[in-house]
Chains A and B, each alone.
Chain A
Amino acid sequence: MLKLGLIDSGPTAAPDWQAAADRLADVTIVDADAADAVLVAGVDAANQATDVGRHVLLVPGSLGSSGEAAELAAPDGIVVMLAATGRFQPSIQEVQAANSNGSLGPLGLLRIHRWLPGGDPVGISCLADQLDLANWLFGTLPSEVYAVRRGESGGYAHVHLGFPGDGMALVDVATTLPDGDDYYSLSLIGGDGSVYADDHHNMHLLYAGGQPEAVRGGEGVSGLVNLLGEFAAAVSEGRVADPGATAAVEALRVAEAAERSIEAGAPLRLNASGDGYELG
C-alpha cells in the first residue's frame, strides 16, 4: 500500500486526489508525516522529500525552467514522477493507445487547443504541459520550434513544431476565456488513421430559455486514477516512472525555445547534440 501525503495538491483539489485514491487498492491518502510518498510543488520541496527517502509526485507547472528541472534529484530506489495529468486523461490515453499500437501509422500532424479562463500570462510551465504531450506522442523532441504570442497580458501563445521526418504540430494555449469552463481539443493525424479527442464532441445540451447551454460530459477523476496507478506501479516495481524528470526537462526546453522564438520572430532548430535550440 502506497501512503501518499498531499503537501501541495496544486491545481487539482485535494478531494479529487482522495476520490482517485479511493478507486485504487494500493494507494491511500495519509497525513504528510505518515507518508512514504508525497505530492509537492517545486524542485526544492521535491529534493527535500527524496533526501529523506520519500517518493515524489511533482505538481505540473511548478518547475520554472529546464535548468531547475534538471536539478531534480532521483536517488536510487526513489521514484520521482511528474504529475502530468494530461497524459493520463482517459481521452488522451485512448489517443496514445491508438498511436502506440501502430493503428495510426507514421504520425503526421498533432493539433492541440488548450483554452482556459483566468487571464494569466501563458508562461513556460503552462506551455510545457502541452508540449510534453507533443514530445510524448511523437516519441522525440521537435527539430523546429516557432511561436507567437498575443494579448496585452500575454494570455495567448501559439507554438508551431516540426518533428524529425515530416511530423508537425500546432499547439495553442489561451487564458482569455471568461470565467467558467475550459476547453480542450487534441487531434492526431497519422498515415493510416486519425484520432480526435475534442470537448466539442462531448457536450450535452441544457435548455433553460434562450439559446441552449453546452454542458461538458467530463472525464471525472479517471485521469488521476490512471496517474496514481502508474506512480504506485513504479514504486512497487522499483522502476522509473513515466513521465519522470527527463520528460520535464525536455518539455521545458521546448517551451523555452518557444519563448526565444517569440522574442526573435524566427524559428529555432534543435542543435546537433540534441540538447538545445538555436536560431537560424
Chain B
Amino acid sequence: MSSAENNTVFRCAVVSVVKHAYVPNGVVTHPRFDLVVVCDDADQPDWVHERNQLYADEHGIPYVKGIEQAVADHDVQVAVISSEAERHCDLAVRCAALGLHVVQDKPMSNRISECDRVVAAVAEHDVRFMMWNRNFLPALVEARRVIDEGGIGKPYAFHVDFYFAKDSGPARGSRGPDDPPIDWLERQIEAHSDGSDGGVGVDPMGELKIEGIYPLAYIQHLAGSRVERVYARTASHFHQANVDNDVEDLATVTLEMANGVIGTLCIGRIGAASHPDIGEIKLHVLGETGGLVISEARPEVSVYYRNQPSQEFRHRRMAIDLDFQLMEDFAGAIDSGGGGILDAVTSRDIAATVQAAVDSGKSGRVEEVA
C-alpha cells in the first residue's frame, strides 16, 4: 500500500537543528509529515539555542528548551535530529525511549558504541529509524533499476567517487609559525554561512565520517551486502583545519564484502578550484555481463551568463525527488513496521565500515569491520 493511501499525518519535533537544515526541510516535503516544534536540551550553549530559535521562527513553530517537555506538550510521533554529530545517537536513544520514530542527520555518530545504543533502543521500543541518505537521487534510482533488471548481470564490483569541490577554511600550509591550530568547532560554526559545516561538533571528523555514509549507502543499497574487510589510505591534503585536527580530507578505501563483491571509494573535500560544480560524483559498476557508468548529478541543466557569480553552480541538478521519496519510504516503514531504506542496523554497519577505514588509514593494515 502506498503511504499516500494512509492519511495519518505525523507530527514531528525538530530535535536540535544546528547544521544546515536540509533534513527537517526535506521531511516536510511529504504531506504526511508536519513540523510542530523545535526543541533541545536547556543546557546547550547559546549558539545552539540561537540556531534552534531561528529555525523555529522561520517556520512559525515554537522553540522549547526541554525535549521531553516538548514531546509531551505537542503530541509528537517523529523526531528529526540534526544536532552536533556527537549528540546524534544520545538524542535518538532518548527519543526512541519516548516512543518516537527517528529521522537522523549524518553521521550516525563518531563512536560505534553510540550506534549500538541506537540499534538496541530502536528494537526495544519498536520504533522506526532512518539515517538521511541520497539513495533516491534520480541517478541512483536508475542504477538500481538497471541492476535489478539484469542489465549488467550479477554485479561484482562497485566503485564510487564522491568529491565535494568546496573549500573549508584556510588551505593546508597557510598557518604561520606563531598561529594557533584551528579550533574544529569554531571553524564549523563559522562554516555555517556557506553550508560547509557538515562536521559540526566538538570532536573533529574527517571526510569519511562527515560524508562517507552517502557513498557507502549507495554501495550497500546496490550490492545488498555487508562490508567485512577494509583497506584505506587517508590524508589531510587540502585544508589546514584538517591538518591541525589530524583528520583526513582525502581518502581511498577498498571494501571486501560478505558475498565476495568488491567496492572502492574515493572521497574528499578537494577544494573549490577542482570542479566547476559541487564535484565529480560517479558510480562505476561491473557485472558479470556488462558495466555501468553513472553520473550522480544527472539529470542537470547548464546555465551560463554574463557576470555570473563565481560561486554559482553552472550545472544545476533538477527533477530531484529525493526528499519526498525518502519520507515516502519512511512513512511506509512506520505503516508496515518494516526496516526502510537505511535503518539503524544498516546505518550502524556503515558507521563501522567508516571507522575501519579511518583505522586502516592510520595502521596501514587491512582492518576487519566490527
Among listed B22-30, B46-54, B267-275, B300-308, interface-contacting one: B267-275
Cα(A219)–Cα(B291), bound, Å: 22
Question: In residues 20-78 of chain B, which contact A (Cβ within 8 Å)?
Answer: none
Q: Which residues of B contact A158 (CB under 8 A)?
A: 157, 254, 262, 264
Contact A148 B256 (CB under 8 A): yes
Contact A191 B288 (CB under 8 A): no
**Is A194 in contact with chain B by the CB < 8 A criterion?**
yes
Cα(A237)–Cα(B260), bound, Å: 52
**Is B113 in contact with chain A by the CB < 8 A criterion?**
no
Contact A178 B271 (CB under 8 A): no
Q: Which residues of A contact B266 (CB under 8 A)?
A: 109, 111, 170, 189
Given known contacts A158-B262, A194-B275, is B290 in contact with A168 (CB within 8 Å)? no
Cα(A193)–Cα(B163), bound, Å: 12
Contact A160 B275 (CB under 8 A): no
Contact A115 B286 (CB under 8 A): yes
Contact B235 A150 (CB under 8 A): no
Given known contacts A176-B288, A194-B274, A267-B365, is B252 in contact with A169 (CB within 8 Å)? yes
Across the interface, B366 reaches (CB within 8 A) one of A156, A178, A185, A266, namely: A266
Cα(A185)–Cα(B256), bound, Å: 22
**CB proximity of B276 to chain A, nearest CB, Å:** 11
**CB proximity of B305 to chain A, nearest CB, Å:** 23
Taking each of B231, B262, B280, which has the highest tally of chain A beta carbons within 10 Å of its own beta carbon? B231
**Is A187 in contact with chain B by the CB < 8 A criterion?**
yes
Taking each of B157, B172, B256, B289, which has the highest tally of chain A beta carbons within 10 Å of its own beta carbon? B157
**Is B364 in contact with chain A by the CB < 8 A criterion?**
yes
**Is A192 in contact with chain B by the CB < 8 A criterion?**
yes
Q: Which residues of A contact B282 (CB under 8 A)?
A: 200
Contact A183 B293 (CB under 8 A): yes
Cα(A144)–Cα(B233), bound, Å: 10
**Is A151 in contact with chain B by the CB < 8 A criterion?**
yes
Contact B291 A146 (CB under 8 A): no
Cα(A187)–Cα(B282), bound, Å: 11
Across the interface, A196 reaches (CB within 8 A) one of B231, B238, B250, B280, namely: B280
Contact B233 A174 (CB under 8 A): no
Cα(A45)–Cα(B111), bound, Å: 60
**Is B117 in contact with chain A by the CB < 8 A criterion?**
no
What 0/1 pattern do residues 138 to 168 of A give for CB contact below 8 A with B? 0000001010101100001010101000111
Cα(A178)–Cα(B151), bound, Å: 12
Contact B156 A189 (CB under 8 A): no
Cα(A113)–Cα(B264), bound, Å: 11
Q: Which residues of A contact B295 (CB under 8 A)?
A: 200
Contact A178 B237 (CB under 8 A): no
**Is B159 in contact with chain A by the CB < 8 A criterion?**
yes
**Is B236 in contact with chain A by the CB < 8 A criterion?**
yes
Closest to B255 in A: A148
Question: In residues 206-263 of chain B, which contact A (Cβ within 8 Å)?
Answer: 231, 233, 235-238, 250-252, 254, 256, 260, 262
Given contacts A170-B264, A176-B287, A200-B293, 10 further A-B contacts (CB under 8 A): A108-B235, A144-B364, A176-B286, A185-B293, A187-B161, A189-B268, A189-B274, A192-B273, A193-B274, A196-B280
A-B contact pairs, 26 of them (CB 8 A): A111-B266, A113-B284, A115-B291, A148-B262, A162-B233, A162-B364, A166-B250, A168-B233, A168-B250, A168-B251, A170-B159, A170-B252, A170-B266, A176-B289, A177-B291, A185-B284, A189-B250, A189-B270, A193-B273, A194-B165, A194-B274, A200-B282, A200-B293, A265-B366, A267-B364, A269-B364
Q: Which A residues are closer than 8 A to B by beta carbons?
A: 106, 108-109, 111, 113, 115, 144, 146, 148, 150-151, 156, 158, 160, 162, 166-170, 172, 174, 176-178, 183, 185, 187, 189, 191-194, 196, 199-200, 265-267, 269
Give 7 nearest A-B pairs by CB, closest first: A166-B235, A168-B233, A194-B274, A108-B237, A168-B252, A160-B254, A162-B233
